[in-house]
Amino acid sequence: MPFIFQYIKLSKPTSWASRTDLVTWQDHQVQSFLQKVLPQSPFYRKYYEHLSIEEWQSFPTINKSIMMDHFDTLNTIGIKKKEAFKLALQAEQTRNFTPMIKRTTIGLSSGTSGNRGLFLVSEKERMMWAGSILAKVLPRSIFGKHRIAFFLRANSNLYNSVAHGRITFRFFDLLTPLIQNLKELNHFQPTSLIAPPSMLRFIAEAQLAGSIQLQPEKVISVAEVLDPLDERVIRRAFGTIVHQVYQCTEGFIATTCAHGTLHINEDLLVVQKNFLDKRLRKFTPIITDFSRYTQPIIRYDLNDILTERADPCPCGSLHLAIEQIEGRQDDLLYFKGLDTDTPIPVFPDFIRRALITADEQITAYQVIQHRLGHIEIHIQSSNPDPVKLQQKIQINIDALCQSIKVESPIIAWEAYQHPPSIHKLRRIKRMYA
């Protein structure tokens, strides 16, 4: 029974004595995985032709567009992209999320219409995933009673497979009217509440206003970047830290420990660091998942910016600790350089800090860049003097620009508006290529 086996395996304290032991173990896992999977995948077989498996760490990388372009020959069970897309789109339209081909779950990642990823998960992988996620996420043993409320854009057989024994799983569709979802949530009384942070924030505000009364043991943010501003409100509403699960089409990448630190799930996959700025410890992860055979993810360059934690986490875990997930690499803003004609990339986190430290009364924001030299700032605050607030933000942005030697952008001020919806909230985003 892969589910319970995986649960028990991951629930036990790890047996590696050191980081070196862990890395050696991973190397064995990947090599044995490659030996089994490469003969089954025509794409990878050709891609790595004449390369030696021992040198997998420097194999050419893939990314989303390579994976989608070669979907038909990359997967190991001969599922065609056309057929899988058709079925997955149908599921989203009918909101009946149980599509399968050859007993394989088909799912769609979010994204713009031309840029959506497809995932394939076999029955065994689905059970393994459920075992892994429960081991890493449940606040107590699987043998107790749990009610898991899960808000997402789309449901999947994958998520439903966590319902076992005394675990009740309830999917809340983000397309359902918010008021109805709140009412049902209040009735359901989840022990674990899992949702994108924009939805968690909305639920937290309803809780603070007294219109619902929940006592979740664990609150978990998924699918969007958790902004410190939202984290504060959610924590205050439920009196507990906000945990995170970093999971995407490409894998179940990281989860928070009891201290709220994100750790890479290095017992499930390998993350290699592609540094964007080594001094700032910022990198994009290259993922090799040594347990996925149906749709192998090997040296996959994921377009997310992560920051490695500078000091070890007090929990003592050997797993790589992440200070924060910053968002997608596409959301780096670009400002004009002072001494160069080349536009300079600016990390979303710099902008975030310039904003939220400007004034304590800021309650929500969004920064959007449509073209070089300009940004739009959408702001919500309880400060009665909006002009003064804008001046404070301007001072912080100017100071930031000076320190990184770029020209201050021209700022257009807008009122903030973003109700939770099926569209992912990206508080900082760039809208041009």
Which region, judged by CB under 5 A, interacts with Zn ion, from 5-13, 128-136, 139-147, 257-265?
Answer: 257-265
Rounded Cα gap, residues 122 and 104, in angstroms: 4
CB nearer Zn ion, residue 66 or residue 257: 257
What part of residues 48-77 is at the interface with Zn ion (CB under 5 A)? none
CB nearer Zn ion, residue 126 or residue 319: 319
Among 6, 105, 261, 294, binds Zn ion (CB under 5 A): 261
CB nearer Zn ion, residue 19 or residue 388: 19
**Burial bucket for residue 428 (CB in 10 Å: 0-12, 13-18, 19+):** buried
Distance in Å, CB of 317 to Zn ion, minimum: 5
- Pairing state of beta strands 218-221 and 192-195? parallel
Structure tokens at 27: 């190397």
Contact flag: residue 105 with Zn ion (CB under 5 A): no
Distance in Å, CB of 67 to Zn ion, minimum: 31
Distance in Å, CB of 269 to Zn ion, minimum: 18
Rounded Cα gap, residues 106 and 89, in angstroms: 10
The per-residue DSSP string of 149-205 comes to: EEEESS--HHHHTT--TTEEEEEEETTS-HHHHHHHHHHH--SEEEE-HHHHHHHHH
CB nearer Zn ion, residue 157 or residue 317: 317
Which among 122, 65, 114 is positioned nearest to 302, based on CA atoms? Answer: 65
Distance in Å, CB of 151 to Zn ion, minimum: 26
Contact flag: residue 155 with Zn ion (CB under 5 A): no
Which among 308, 283, 287 is positioned nearest to 297, based on CA atoms? Answer: 287
Distance in Å, CB of 260 to Zn ion, minimum: 8
Which among 192, 172, 132 is positioned nearest to 12, based on CA atoms? Answer: 132
Distance in Å, CB of 314 to Zn ion, minimum: 7
Which region, judged by CB under 5 A, interacts with Zn ion, from 25-33, 160-168, 173-181, 316-324?
Answer: 316-324
What part of residues 2-41 is at the interface with Zn ion (CB under 5 A)? none
Q: Which segments of 210-320 are extended strands (E)?
A: 218-221, 242-248, 251-256, 262-264, 269-277, 282-289, 300-301, 304-308
Distance in Å, CB of 18 to Zn ion, minimum: 17
Distance in Å, CB of 323 to Zn ion, minimum: 12
Among 313, 377, 393, 406, binds Zn ion (CB under 5 A): 313
Residue ranges in 372-413 assigned as alpha helix (H):
386-403
CB nearer Zn ion, residue 259 or residue 405: 259
Amino acid at 171: F
- Interface with Zn ion (CB under 5 A), residue total 6
Distance in Å, CB of 261 to Zn ion, minimum: 4
Contact flag: residue 315 with Zn ion (CB under 5 A): yes
Contact flag: residue 241 with Zn ion (CB under 5 A): no
Which region, judged by CB under 5 A, interacts with Zn ion, from 260-268, 322-330, 362-370, 392-400?
Answer: 260-268
Contact flag: residue 257 with Zn ion (CB under 5 A): yes
CB nearer Zn ion, residue 102 or residue 259: 259
CA angle 85, 429, 201 (to 5 degrees): 85
Crossing angle of the two packed helices 348-356 and 386-403, in degrees rounded to 10: 140
CB nearer Zn ion, residue 263 or residue 430: 263
Q: Are 43 and 74 in contact (CB under 8 A)?
A: yes
CA angle 263, 251, 312 (to 5 degrees): 10
Distance in Å, CB of 192 to Zn ion, minimum: 19
- Pairing state of beta strands 362-369 and 374-381? antiparallel
Q: Which residues bind Zn ion (CB under 5 A)?
A: 257, 259, 261, 313, 315, 317
